[in-house]
C-alpha cells in the first residue's frame, strides 16, 4: 500500500542520486518507520540522522548546508516535501512510496540499501526487518524480484549463498566503481574447493590414502617398540 499520509501525486521520474541525496532519503525512510513520533524531521533532525554512526556505511559528517542542498534537490525531483504543521520550523518528509512505486516492505529494503550500500541478501533481510518484518529469505527474494523488474535493485554477484546486491539509484560511474572493487576483491581471494566435483573426489581419495599410510607407519613403530622391549 502507498503511504497513507500522502495524498495522490503525479508520478515523478526516478533518477540517480548522489551520495548526500542517498543518505538524506535513506534517513527519512528509516525515521518514518522507526521513530514515527519524531517524524517529519526538522533540518537538524535530518543532519543528526545522516551523521549517525549506527546503521550507516560509510559514516558521514555532513553540515546543514550540505543537507539542505540535498533536500532542495530531492524536493525538485518530487522525492521530498517540506511541511510546517502546527509549528513555524519547516520539517521534511519523503514521498518515496509514490516516487518509487513500492510497497512498505520494498521501501524498507530500499531504505536499508540507501543507508548502507551493497550487501548480501542475508544481511539485508535482518537489517530491513527493523523497519518492516521480513521473516525469511523466501519472502525477501519475492520483494527483490519485484524491485529488480523496476530497476530499483542491481545484482552484483550470481545466485547462491552470500549473493550481493545494491540499489538502482547509483549514478552509472559509481555503479561501475562498485563492480570493479568487487571484482578486484574476488580476484585476490583463494579459489573455493568444490567438494562435489571430480577434483574434490580425487582430493578425498588422496587424503584417505595418506591417512592409511600414516596408520600403517604408526602400527609398525609400535611393533618395533615391543620387539626392542622384549
Q: Which residues of 50-79 are buried (b: 16+ CB within 10 A; e: fewer)?
A: bbbeeebeeeeebeeebbeebbebbeebbb
pLDDT digits (tens, 9 = 90+) for 40-66: 999 999 999 999 999 999 999 999 999
Torsion angles phi and psi, residue 78, rounded to 5: 80, 20
- Confidence band (pLDDT; 50, 70, 90) for 186? confident
pLDDT digits (tens, 9 = 90+) for 100-134: 999 999 999 999 999 999 999 999 999 999 999 99
- The class level of CATH for 117-188 reads mainly alpha
Q: Residue written as cell 517529519? A: 40
**What residue spans define the domains of the chain?**
19-100, 117-188
Average pLDDT of the segment spanning 14-19: 96
CATH assignment of 19-100, among 1.20.1250.20, 3.30.70.2190, 1.10.10.10, 1.20.120.160: 1.10.10.10
Share of the chain above pLDDT 90, in %: 69
pTM: 0.77
pLDDT digits (tens, 9 = 90+) for 190-200: 665 555 454 55
Q: What CA–CA distance (Å, rounded) separates 173 from 170?
A: 8
Q: What CA–CA distance (Å, rounded) separates 67 from 43?
A: 8
Neighbours of 132 (CB within 10 A): 16
Query: What is the reported pLDDT for 208?
Result: 65
Identical fold, 19-100 and 117-188: yes
pLDDT digits (tens, 9 = 90+) for 22-36: 999 999 999 999 999
**Helix 43-50 crosses helix 19-34 at what angle (to 10 degrees)?**
110
Average pLDDT of the segment spanning 147-164: 94
Do the beta carbons of residue 70 and residue 21 sit within 8 Å? yes
Amino acid at each position: 500500500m502507498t503511504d497513507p499520509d500522502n495524498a495522490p501525486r503525479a508520478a515523478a521520474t526516478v533518477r540517480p542520486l548522489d551520495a548526500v541525496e542517498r543518505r538524506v532519503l535513506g534517513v527519512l525512510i528509516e525515521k518514518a518507520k522507526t521513530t514515527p513520533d519524531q517524524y517529519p524531521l526538522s533540518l537538524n533532525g535530518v543532519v543528526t540522522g545522516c551523521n549517525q554512526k549506527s546503521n550507516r556505511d560509510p559514516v558521514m559528517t555532513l553540515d546543514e548546508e550540505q543537507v539542505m542542498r540535498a533536500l532542495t534537490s530531492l524536493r525538485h525531483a518530487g522525492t521530498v516535501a517540506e511541511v510546517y504543521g502546527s509549528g513555524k520550523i519547516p520539517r521534511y518528509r519523503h514521498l518515496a512510496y509514490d516516487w518509487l512505486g513500492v510497497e512498505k516492505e520494498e521501501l524498507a529494503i530500499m531504505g536499508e540499501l540507501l543507508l548502507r550500500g551493497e550487501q548480501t541478501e542475508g544481511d539485508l533481510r535482518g537489517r530491513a526487518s527493523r523497519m518492516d518484518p521480513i521473516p525469511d529469505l523466501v519472502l525477501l527474494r519475492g520483494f527483490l524480484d519485484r524491485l529488480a523488474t523496476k530497476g530499483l535493485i542491481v545484482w552484483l554477484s550470481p545466485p547462491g549463498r552470500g549473493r550481493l546486491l545494491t540499489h538502482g539509484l547509483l549514478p552509472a560511474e559509481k555503479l561501475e566503481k562498485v563492480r570493479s572493487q568487487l571484482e578486484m576483491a574476488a580476484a585476490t581471494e583463494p579459489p573455493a574447493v568444490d567438494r562435489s566435483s571430480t577434483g574434490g573426489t580425487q582430493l578425498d581419495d588422496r587424503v584417505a590414502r595418506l591417512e592409511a599410510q600414516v596408520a600403517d607407519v604408526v602400527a609398525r613403530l609400535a611393533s618395533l617398540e615391543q620387539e626392542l622391549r622384549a
